[in-house]
């Protein structure tokens, strides 16, 4: 990545943050407004960095540039687990759970299931078996989503509303109660991903070369998948599932920093994601007065980007 | 570490009940170029991949210079043997120099020192890659990419080099240059196991030949003992004539 590109990315991010914090700040209760804005800014930045990094990590494990955790059903798995929790505990029981414990339990359960399922799928798959990997992942995603829907249908309307609210992306929602817990999970996960950067570069060479160069390949795949699951749990818990956002961000990061090392790639993806999300949410909240939803636009643009990748034949 | 060769004992491999490699027990000598020959599906690649621990730990044991590949840490083995397989497509976009530099990972773990840079530069020179060092791999021809991968394996500077059909895609000049380079490595004390399809490269350059057919090791020994008309005709199920050239067998398989 050229220094100038890095500078532009950093400046755009700074601009988005500044706009978010200081634009239209009236003479009234400034500390209160700033505090409110800063909390939401932290939540958006955390979600953005989580989605961006999770996607880059997953694409490296899967050896594929069009797969994302969302397409493979990671977030659907989180929703399924949440629906199951509502179904077994009831709305009141669900609401009574302390936010931190609930989040921790859901995240741990999801990580365990994701690592078991996708570890079996990706740990052994040869590079030529990528078609099978994609197909299995997409089918698993549908399975999780259908499972969540099925449970939602069996619930009484009140419980259904609770599940429903969690099933659609809403960037205006960041749940303040879980923000601290989410940060406690996401920040160490991101730090570990960056620390593993050089090993991720090796992982990206494929199993044969990675093993030959002395990387404990299977362990590395499982650790990376666990990081993907943790980061996806964080973003889904905070704003709900975002299908194509990660794809846009990872695609842009790869385009801006061709052949870059993973440390650069992860940071670029996180910065781009934060810029898009903060800038986009600012535009929709303050300029358009919430007349449209950012998630819809992002999904729309992401869908087109996904098709463009498919048509360019970049299924590698 | 003493170079004791690769000791293979009772090694077998099966995929869904189909036997790919019958129980094999043999020794591949250190300090030699050993050629692994045989028809398609003989189990040559499987054997080389099992030795290089690319496939999951099999039944039987493989010890490289006394290190059991099933129990030795993979990072330690990466300083004992380098492996180059047949799949040379990459998911990530890399420059030639970056790929070759990965060969130094077992020694520097991502923090290259002066000797690592020197080893990379030497490997690039050895394979005529210096003018291409800044190019992305996906802009190279098949033969140029193959040379980049060979340079990476050589840059690993391991006592053992295991190559699965390294002559794939190479033009005749680079094919000969590669074999000459392997001979230089051997003269410097290195050990090489190479899967070869062109019998004349085995005849001209190998010190030891192992012939495989249908998962069985059917013959091993010096080239003049293995590359005979009777043995080769039986090995490939077709009549093959063998002449001599410069004191070594010359296989006339194309006539």
Q: Which domain holds residue B121?
A: 89-157
**pLDDT averaged over consecutive 10-residue blocks of chain A (316 residues)?**
82 87 78 82 89 91 81 81 80 73 81 80 58 76 85 77 67 66 89 92 88 88 89 83 82 80 91 88 77 72 74 56
Q: Which residues of B touch A (CB under 8 A)?
A: 52-54, 73-79, 82-85, 87, 89-95, 98, 102-103, 105-106, 109-110, 136, 152-153, 156
Same domain, B54 and B96: no
What confidence score (pLDDT) does residue A128 get? 53
What confidence score (pLDDT) does residue A270 get? 93
Same domain, B2 and B93: no
Can you tell me the distance from the alpha carbon of B62 to that of B81, in angstroms, rounded to the nearest whole number? 13
Same domain, B167 and B242: yes
**Cβ–Cβ below 8 Å for A211 and B94:** no
Total structural domains in chain B? 2
**Cβ–Cβ below 8 Å for A212 and B76:** no
What confidence score (pLDDT) does residue A288 get? 75
Residue A133 touches partner B, C-beta closer than 8 Å: no
- Among B133, B157, B181, which residue terminates a domain? B157
Is the backbone of residue B220 left (phi > 0), alpha (psi -120 to 50) or beta? beta
> pTM for the complete prediction?
0.86
What confidence score (pLDDT) does residue B19 get? 80
- Among B107, B141, B157, which residue terminates a domain? B157
Domains of chain A, start order: 45-312 (1.10.3470.10)
Same domain, B71 and B93: no
For residue B211, the domain's CATH number is 3.40.50.300
Residue B235: name the closest of B254, B248, B255, B217 by CA: B217
Chain A positions touching B73 (Cβ under 8 A) are 216
- Among B135, B157, B179, which residue terminates a domain? B157
What confidence score (pLDDT) does residue A199 get? 92
pLDDT class of B54 with cuts at 50, 70, 90: confident
Q: How far is A211 from chain B (nearest CA, A)?
A: 6
What confidence score (pLDDT) does residue A195 get? 93
List pLDDT tens digits, range B104-143: 998 888 788 888 899 999 999 888 888 988 888 888 888 8
* Mean per-residue pLDDT, B82-104: 85
What confidence score (pLDDT) does residue A316 get? 42
* Mean per-residue pLDDT, B86-115: 85
List pLDDT tens digits, range B132-174: 888 888 888 888 888 899 999 999 989 999 999 988 888 888 8
Chain A positions touching B96 (Cβ under 8 A) are none
What confidence score (pLDDT) does residue A240 get? 77
Same domain, B194 and B76: yes
Same domain, B12 and B57: yes
ipTM reported for the complex, 2 dp: 0.87
Q: In 3-state terms, what secondary structure has residue A69?
A: coil
Same domain, B95 and B29: no
**Cβ–Cβ below 8 Å for A202 and B79:** no
What confidence score (pLDDT) does residue A276 get? 87
């Amino acid at each position: 990545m050229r220094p100038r590109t890095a500078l532009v990315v950093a400046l755009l991010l700074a601009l988005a943050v500044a706009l978010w914090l200081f634009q239209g700040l009236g003479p009234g209760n400034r500390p209160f407004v700033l505090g409110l804005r800063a909390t939401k800014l932290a939540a958006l930045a955390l979600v953005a960095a989580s989605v961006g990094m999770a996607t880059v990590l997953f694409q490296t494990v899967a050896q594929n540039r069009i797969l994302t955790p969302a397409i493979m059903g990671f977030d659907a798995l989180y929703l399924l687990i949440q629906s199951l929790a509502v179904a077994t505990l009831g709305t009141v029981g669900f609401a009574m759970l302390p936010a931190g414990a609930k989040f921790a339990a859901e995240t741990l359960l999801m990580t365990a299931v994701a690592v078991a399922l996708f570890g079996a799928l990706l740990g052994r798959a040869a590079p030529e078996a990528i078609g099978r990997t994609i197909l299995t992942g997409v089918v698993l995603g549908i399975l999780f989503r259908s499972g969540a829907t099925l449970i939602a249908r069996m619930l009484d309307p009140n419980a259904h509303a609770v599940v429903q609210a969690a099933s659609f992306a809403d960037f205006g929602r960041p749940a303040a109660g879980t923000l601290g817990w989410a940060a406690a999970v996401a920040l160490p996960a991101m730090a570990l991903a960056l620390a593993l950067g050089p090993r991720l570069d090796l992982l990206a060479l494929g199993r044969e070369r990675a093993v030959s160069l002395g990387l404990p390949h299977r362990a590395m795949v499982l650790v990376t998948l666990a990081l993907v699951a943790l980061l996806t749990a964080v973003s889904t818990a905070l704003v709900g599932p975002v299908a194509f956002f990660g794809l846009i961000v990872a695609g842009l990061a790869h385009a801006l920093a061709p052949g870059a090392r993973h440390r650069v790639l992860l940071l670029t993806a996180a910065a781009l994601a934060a810029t898009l999300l903060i800038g986009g949410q600012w535009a929709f909240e303050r300029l358009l007065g919430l007349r449209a939803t950012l998630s819809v636009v992002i999904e729309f643009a992401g869908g087109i980007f996904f098709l463009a990748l498919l048509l360019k034949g970049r299924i590698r | 570490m003493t170079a004791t060769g690769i000791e293979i004992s009772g090694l077998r491999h099966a995929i869904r009940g189909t036997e790919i490699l019958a129980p094999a027990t043999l020794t591949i000598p250190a300090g030699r170029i050993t050629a692994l020959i045989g028809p398609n599906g003989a189990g040559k690649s499987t054997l080389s991949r099992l030795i290089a621990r690319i496939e999951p730990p099999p039944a039987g044991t493989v010890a490289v210079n006394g290190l059991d590949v099933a129990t030795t840490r993979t990072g330690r083995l990466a300083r004992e043997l380098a492996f180059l397989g047949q799949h040379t497509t990459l998911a990530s976009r890399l420059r030639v120099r970056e790929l070759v530099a990965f060969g130094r990972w077992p020694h520097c773990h991502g923090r290259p020192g002066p000797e690592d840079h020197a080893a990379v530069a030497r490997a690039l020179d050895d394979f005529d890659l210096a003018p291409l060092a800044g190019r992305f791999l996906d802009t190279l021809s098949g033969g140029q990419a193959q040379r980049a991968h060979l340079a990476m394996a050589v840059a690993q500077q391991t006592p053992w080099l295991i190559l699965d059909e390294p002559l794939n895609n190479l033009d005749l000049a680079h094919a000969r240059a590669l074999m000459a380079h392997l001979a230089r490595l051997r003269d410097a004390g290195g050990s090489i196991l190479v899967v070869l399809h062109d019998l004349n490269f085995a005849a001209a350059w190998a010190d030891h030949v192992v012939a495989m057919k249908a998962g069985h090791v059917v013959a091993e020994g010096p080239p003049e003992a293995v590359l005979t008309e009777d043995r080769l005709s039986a090995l490939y199920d077709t009549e093959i004539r063998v002449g001599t050239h410069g004191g070594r067998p010359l296989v006339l398989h194309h006539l």
